[in-house]
Amino acid sequence: MSFTNPVRVGFDFGGSLRREASLIQIERLRKCYDALVAVDDVSFDVHDGEILGLLGPNGAGKTTTISMICGVLQPDGGRVLVDNRNIWLEPKKVKMHLGVVPQEIAVYEDLTARDNLSFWGTLYGLSGSELGDRISESLDRVGLAGRAGDKVKTFSGGMKRRLNLCMGLLHRPKFLLLDEPTVGIDPQARLNILEVISEVAAAGTTVLYTTHYMDEAEQLCDRIAIIDHGRILALGTLAELTKRAGEAEVLRLSGRFNDESLREHLAAITGTRILGLGDGSAVLAIESDGPGLLGILPRVLEADLGIEDVSIQRPNLQSVFIALTGRELRD
């Protein structure tokens, strides 16, 4: 039986008509643990061939969301459609097309890299020369071909994460779910993993990628959903999201000032918007339709309030996150 993918019709910034097939649809997903609402009415689509980033701090609900999407965790409400199939009604059919790379490394330490991949490949119906070719191809892709016969317990953390990625890619899934795949690894291993994900997406795989690293979301993802306290706060391209923080500069202040005194002073300055204030720092958006930075900066500094340092930056995901939550997203 075949299914027709749902198509969303809209307009891009240039005004041209676009049609986007949504291969993964998340509809009003909810999960509670007693009084704690871990995921609260989350809805979004992942389009055919894109990398959608789910960006948020630790504890924001990213892993819980991924766990419900891949069928590991039963939601309390809502539904997940993968290629128009409900994963809870047709789990086997859906999971055969899903590749999952969990945050916790899922490898057998006493087996070799090759044996780990052979085991998981067999579960997906691979065998014989096809399985052998896939294993060799996967290990070469992540730079582990030379360690194929070594036991995984001799691997570094970064090597284990690269092997973990191989397991999710071995059966060439149509959809790839990655939950913080670069946490706690060295820069070289991180770069290798990001390059592989980019290559896989460019070849047509649809990717949902969770992270709390701003730079990964900015560099890797076609669209980004910002999540905090179990809710999606904003979703769009990097350009669309940064517009939420204004199109002009962001002013960052630090020093030994009184927060309330500084708040009162800044509130009286036309053309500014306070994005965050507290713990000896303040972040302001310079409104694009106001007097601009050169007109505002002297007014910010005119009062003796204990401002010791000033920096200027273009709007980015950090400023967007501050605008939405009132705090910075930290590692």
How many angstroms separate the CA atoms of 124 and 216, rounded? 30
22 confidence band (pLDDT: 50, 70, 90): confident
Q: DSSP E strands: which ranges in the chain?
A: 7-11, 17-33, 36-47, 51-55, 77-82, 85-86, 98-101, 175-179, 206-211, 223-228, 231-236, 250-255, 272-278, 281-286, 307-313
Residues shown for the chain: 331
- CATH 3.30.70 residue window(s) in the chain: 247-314
Task: Using alpha carbons, select from 270, 253, 264 the residue that is nearest to residue 306.
Answer: 253
pTM of this structure: 0.80
Query: CB-side exposure of 219: number of CA atoms within 13 Å?
Result: 11
CATH superfamily of 7-242: P-loop containing nucleotide triphosphate hydrolases (3.40.50.300)
Q: Quote the pLDDT of residue 330.
A: 63
Q: Quote the pLDDT of residue 275.
A: 79
Q: Quote the pLDDT of residue 10.
A: 38
Q: Would you tell me how many other CB atoms lie within 10 Å of the CB of residue 165?
A: 24
Residue whose structure tokens are 């067999």: 122
202 confidence band (pLDDT: 50, 70, 90): very high
Q: Cα 203 to chain center, whole Å? A: 20
What average pLDDT does range 96-123 have in this prediction? 95
What average pLDDT does range 120-127 have in this prediction? 94
289 confidence band (pLDDT: 50, 70, 90): confident
Q: Quote the pLDDT of residue 11.
A: 35
How many angstroms separate the CA atoms of 15 and 8, rounded? 15
The pLDDT mean for the chain works out to: 88
Task: Using alpha carbons, select from 200, 173, 207, 11 the residue that is nearest to residue 95.
Answer: 173
The CATH number of domain 247-314 is 3.30.420: no
Burial class for 265, CB neighbours closer than 10 Å (0-12, 13-18, 19+):
middle
Q: Would you tell me how many other CB atoms lie within 10 Å of the CB of residue 22?
A: 20
How many angstroms separate the CA atoms of 235 and 226, rounded? 6
In the chain, how long is the greatest CA-to-CA distance? 76
- CATH 3.40.50.300 residue window(s) in the chain: 7-242
222 confidence band (pLDDT: 50, 70, 90): very high
Q: Quote the pLDDT of residue 1.
A: 33
